[in-house]
A = this chain, B = another copy of it.
Amino acid sequence: MGALDRSLIADMPNFAALGPDEIDFVLSHAKSVRYPKGAVVFEQGAGAENFFVLLHGNLQVAKLTPAGQQVVIRYVVPGDLFGIAVQMGRPHYPATATAVVDSVALVWPAASWAPLLARCPALAAGALQTVGSRLDDAHVRVVEMSTEEVERRVAHTLLRLVKQSGRKVEEGIQISFPITREDVAQMTGTTLHSVSRILSAWEAQGLVEGGRQRIVVRDPHRLFGLAEGRVAAATAQRNPPLDGEGRRAKPGGVV
């Protein structure tokens, strides 16, 4: 296998502080691996033998409860450091990572972490920041689940997905990887039924556009207003009652 090119990681926040020699050193421990769509990169509970940086594609990270219910923790996007159980001193992966599209990642053996750190202490700071921002995300999610009703949680989640992996299309901004209503439900702590109803209601209002494993946000601004709770928007649950003329009774104007 040929040597990996510096440009692969030189611009990533996690490695930006390193000099060219250091980058080469770091890359000399890595190999590049392809994961076809559906492939499991690592599994919850398995020994944490590697850590990774995603180059292309998208992964879903999910936790399975003892009762067999799944909760989606996050989606990994290119540039992300992931599978960093070793760095946190954990012997096992706490969740399962699956490729949702064909993906490519750099892979380091867990054992490489110590020597890498010895040569490039700045890596520790980078990892700390990465984990810190994940911690923040997790706390935001806890707060949302504690204080917001389902519709607003879905709105927030959608906005985050769009921000992270939005691809501009003519009708609006589309989440750039396939994602089911069930997935969204597992991110927001609700059921696929509720998500479907909510998206349908939003679609009727021209807020989003749905499709099979596809979500396009047409009006991010209005969706944001909804996420912030400025308007109750659609009742979503139960179809909104029809008014006298048989048209949908629309909620108060969006501010």
Contacts and interface: CB of A to CB of B under 8 A. Distances in A.
A145 B147 contact: no
A88 B229 CA distance: 30
A67 B146 CA distance: 13
Interface in A56-70: 63, 65-67, 69
Contacts of A146: 69, 71, 145, 186, 188-189
Contacts of A63: 139, 143
A66 B147 CA distance: 11
Given A73-B142, A135-B134, A128 B94 contact: no
A254 interface: no
A10 interface: no
Contacts of A95: 139
B129 A128 contact: no
Interface string A77-92: 0000000010111100
Interface in A154-195: 186, 188-189
A128 B71 contact: no
Interface of A: 63, 65-67, 69, 71, 73, 85, 87-90, 94-95, 117, 121, 124-125, 127-129, 131-136, 138-139, 141-143, 145-147, 186, 188-189, 228-229
